[in-house]
Amino acid sequence: MSTTHPHDAKTSEIPQVEVTLQVNGAAHMLRLDARVTLLDALRDHLGLTGAKKGCDQGACGACTVLVDGKRVVSCLTLAAQCEDREVTTIEALSDGGTPHPLQAAFARHDAFQCGYCTPGQIMSAVSLLAEGRAGSEEEICEFMSGNLCRCGAYPNIRKAIRDVAAGAE
């Protein structure tokens, strides 16, 4: 009588997928384990380390990137789900050497301390502004609530977002 052990080679094969990721305006063809998250594909396969691995559970927002202009937590998004969709990371925000208005506002308002959450905060704020959700302090608080800052720089983050929303450079 033959029994199959759950860890036999046949049952432990990990499916591979070929995926084309459109990241920051460039196409990248990758062969990945089907379970690879967008965050791990960006960091480990494309060398884009701006998005941070914080909680790895979608609760902190440190890994926020834009997919088709909408913010997503990349630690809970499979890379394969982003086939032929436009992924934008913090690395694409500056125009040459000129920082994005939000990047400049974060620096001007000292809206970061350790800086770990800053890329995710900025990417979320870019989306928030594009969605037109910066009309009030309460609205900014509500729509930025998925991005945590352990250093507590929230008042300065909100000031930076308000300045950009008001057109201040």
150/127 Cα distance (integer angstroms):
22
Strand, helix or coil for residue 127:
helix
Q: Which of 32, 55, 89 is the last residue of a domain?
A: 89
pLDDT digits (tens, 9 = 90+) for 129-169: 999 999 999 999 999 999 999 999 999 999 999 999 999 65
Domain assignment present for 29: yes
Q: How far is CA 88 from the centre of its chain?
A: 8
DSSP H helix total and E strand total for the chain: 5, 5
pLDDT in tens, 55-81: 999 999 999 999 999 999 999 999 999
Residue 167 DSSP class: T
CB count within 10 Å of CB 80 equals 20
Structural domain harbouring 138: 101-165
CA 73 to CA 61: how far, in whole Å?
6
Is residue 5 in a domain? no
Q: What percent of the chain has pLDDT over 70?
A: 92
Q: Are 61 and 147 in contact (CB under 8 A)?
A: yes
CATH number for the domain that contains residue 113? 1.10.150.120
Give CA–CA dist 77/168, Å, rounded: 34
Phi, psi torsion values for 110, nearest 5 degrees = 50, 50
Residue 7 has a pLDDT of 54
